[in-house]
Amino acid sequence: EIVLTQSPGTLSLSPGERATLSCRASQSVSSSYLAWYLQKPGQAPRLLIYGASRRATGIPDRFSGSGSGTDFTLTISRLEPEDFAVYYCQQYGSLPLFTFGPGTKVDIK
């Protein structure tokens, strides 16, 4: 079973700043089957990035994903007010468990 660790747990930033979120896997993630999601309070999660670096449909280009193997990064180049939320990474390449990370909360400084 692959375990995902996200850091930091909380990131306090101001609008316009750059955010860098980390996701580390306990084993290599198969074929970069790594996704990132954003979840706002009271809403379902929304897919941002899949395949480690591919933006999902409709996702602004201020969101970018990178990494391979066991280390992955989500970067938000300039935070907009609507970006303050919880971000989860997920590996979907290795059964029996498509693991989610514990999440990183990005809040307003």
Partner 1 sequence: EVQLVQSGAEVKKPGESLRISCKGSGYSFSSYWISWVRQMPGKGLEWMGRIDPSESYINYSPSFQGHVTISADKSISTAYLQWSSLKASDSAMYYCARHPHGMDVWGQGTTVTVSS
Binding site for partner 1 (CB under 8 A): 1, 33, 35, 37, 39, 44-47, 49-51, 54, 56-57, 88, 90, 92, 95-103
CB-nearer residue toward partner 1: 24 or 46: 46
CB-nearer residue toward partner 1: 18 or 40: 40
Place of tokens 């280390």: 71
Measured CA to CA in angstroms, residue 53 lies from 56, 68, 74, 96 at distances of 9, 9, 9, 24
Triad 2, 46, 56: Cα angle to 5°:
85
d(CA 55, CA 82): 17
CB-nearer residue toward partner 1: 27 or 78: 27
Q: What is the nearest approach in angstroms of partner 1 to the Cβ of residue 92? A: 7
Q: What is the nearest approach in angstroms of partner 1 to the Cβ of residue 16? A: 28
Q: What is the nearest approach in angstroms of partner 1 to the Cβ of residue 60? A: 16
Report yes or no: 55 and 48 within 8 Å, Cβ to Cβ. Answer: yes
